[in-house]
Amino acid sequence: MREIPGDHGLPLIGPIKDRLDFFYNQGRDLFFQSRARKYNSTVFRANMPPGPFITSNPKVIVLLDAKSFPVLFDVTKVEKRDVFTGTFMPSTQLTGGYRILSYLDPSEPRHDQLKRLIFFLLQSRSSHVIPEFHSSYTTLFQTLEKELAYKGKASFGDANDQAAFNFLTRALFGTNPSDTSLGSDGPSIIQKWLLFQIGPIMVLGLPKFLEDPTLHTFRIPAFLIKKDYRRLYDFFYHASGSVLDEAVRFGIPKEEACHNLIFATCFNSFGGMKIFFPSMLKWIASAGVKLHALLAEEVREAVNSNDGKVTMAAMEKMPLMKSVVYEAFRIAPPVPLQYGKAKRNLVIESHDNAFLVKEGEMLFGFQPFATKDPKIFERAEEFVPDRFVGEGEKLLKHVLWSNGPETENPTLGNKQCAGKDFVVLFSRLLVVELFLRYDSFDVEVGNSPLGGASVTFTSLHKASF
C-alpha cells in the first residue's frame, strides 16, 4: 500500500495552473509524463481541465497504466453518471433538455431503454453498412483525386466529414441529406455543436491570452447554436420514423429518442470518424510502402476469392488489415480521456503499488498511456502493423478504446460503446476501400483541434494489379 502522491494546489490557483500546464505550458502528454516522473508513480493526484469557473470540482486521481486503468470500466466500483466529458457536463440545452445515454449510469432505468434502442437501430440496419460505405467513400476518393490533379494535394478532412455524415445517415436511417433541406450543411453544424460541448477541453490554436478566458473559463451560451441544432433535429426526426416508433414501444418519448439518435450519430459516430480516420491514415502512411504492398495484396486476394465482393466473411480473411486497425486504436484511441466516480472505498493497483481510493473521489484515466504501457506491449510507442496477428490476438484485451476491452462486448449493464463492432467495421472498410483502389499513398500531417491528426494527401498511386 502507498498513499496516493501529488496534490491539487491552492484553491483556484492550483486548478488554473494545472489547466495552463495541460493546454499550453507543457501540453497534454508532458503534463502527465512530468508528474509521473516527479512522483515515481503512474497513479497520482492532479486537477483536470477545465477547472474554474466551469468545473465545480476539478480534483482527480490520475491512472496511467494498463493495470489500474480498467477499474474505470467496472460499474460495480465506479459511477458513470454525468462524467462522459469529465469533471464538467455540457448544458442539456444542447441536447433538447435531456441527459443523453452517454451521461447515464447503468443503474438508471433510462440507460437500459436507450441502449436497447441503439442496439435495435444497429441490428436493423446492419445490411446497409457495407454498400453505403462503398458509395459514400467512392465519392470521397473521386473528390480527392480531382483535388490532387488540380492542386497537387488534397485535404482529407472536409471530404471525410461529408462522406462520413452521408454514410451514417444513409446506412442508419435510409435518408440522403442532400435530398432534404439540410443539404450539405450537416458536418458544419455538427462541428459548431461539438465546440459548444467540448470546447472547454479543446485547444483551437488561438493565442493563450484569448483562448483560455473565452474557451476554458466560461461556457459558450447554448442559445447561440439553438437554430442550427433545430435543423439537425428536424432532419433526424423525419429520417428516424420507424426507429422512433420502436422507441415508444421501449417506453421512450419520440422527442427524447430523437435527441439520443442525434448524439449517437453526430457526437459518437461522426465525431469518432472525424478523429480516428485521419489518425489511422497517418499511421498507415508512416509505415511505408512495404506495408502498403502487403495490405493491397491481402485485401485484393480476399475480395477476389469472394467473387469480387467486400463482405464480413472476406474481411475475416485479412488478418494484417484487422491488426492494422486494432493497432491504430491502440496507439491513438479516439476517446483518450475516461472518468468514473468511486462508489465506495476501494483499493486500486498499479504494476508497483496499491492505493486506497475513498468513496466519491473522481478517477481519471489517460488512455493513450494505458494502451502504450511498456510492461504490456513491446515497442509500445511504435506503430507495429502486425502486432495483433496470430498469437498477438491475445493482447487485444489491452486495447481499450471502446470504454472496455476489445475482447468484451457492450451490454445493457455496462458502459462499453453500443456501436463498438460497428465502429471497427467501418474502420476496416476504410482500409479495404483504400487498398482496393491504390497501391500506396503519401500524406502531410498536422494537428487537429479535436485531437488526433489532420491529413493532406500528396499522392495516391492507383492500383497496378
Looking up residue 455, the CATH number of its domain turns out to be: 1.10.630.10
pTM for this predicted structure: 0.97
Confidence (pLDDT) at 463: 95
In a domain, 350, yes or no: yes
Q: What is the pLDDT of residues 5-49, one digit of tens each?
A: 999 999 999 999 999 999 999 999 999 999 999 999 999 999 999
Residues 427, 285, 308: CA angle, nearest 5 degrees: 50
- The DSSP code for 404 is B
Q: What is the pLDDT of residues 275-328, one digit of tens each?
A: 999 999 999 999 999 999 999 999 999 999 999 999 999 999 999 999 999 999
DSSP assignment of 227-295:
HHHHHHHHHHHHHTHHHHHHHHHHT--HHHHHHHHHIIIIIIIIHHHHHHHHHHHHHHHHH-HHHHHHH
Q: Which of 219-228, 268-277, 442-451 has the lowest mean pLDDT?
A: 442-451
- The DSSP code for 24 is I
In a domain, 440, yes or no: yes
Confidence (pLDDT) at 465: 77
In a domain, 5, yes or no: no
411 is in which domain, residue-wise? Answer: 13-462
- In the chain, how many domains are there? 1
Confidence (pLDDT) at 452: 75
In a domain, 210, yes or no: yes
Rounded to 10 degrees, the C-alpha dihedral 425/430/432/436 comes to 160
Cell of 171: 446506412
Phi then psi dihedrals of residue 393, to 5 deg: -60, -25
Report the C-alpha gap between 167 and 428 in whole angstroms. 15
Helix, strand, coil content of the chain in percent (nearest 5):
55, 10, 35
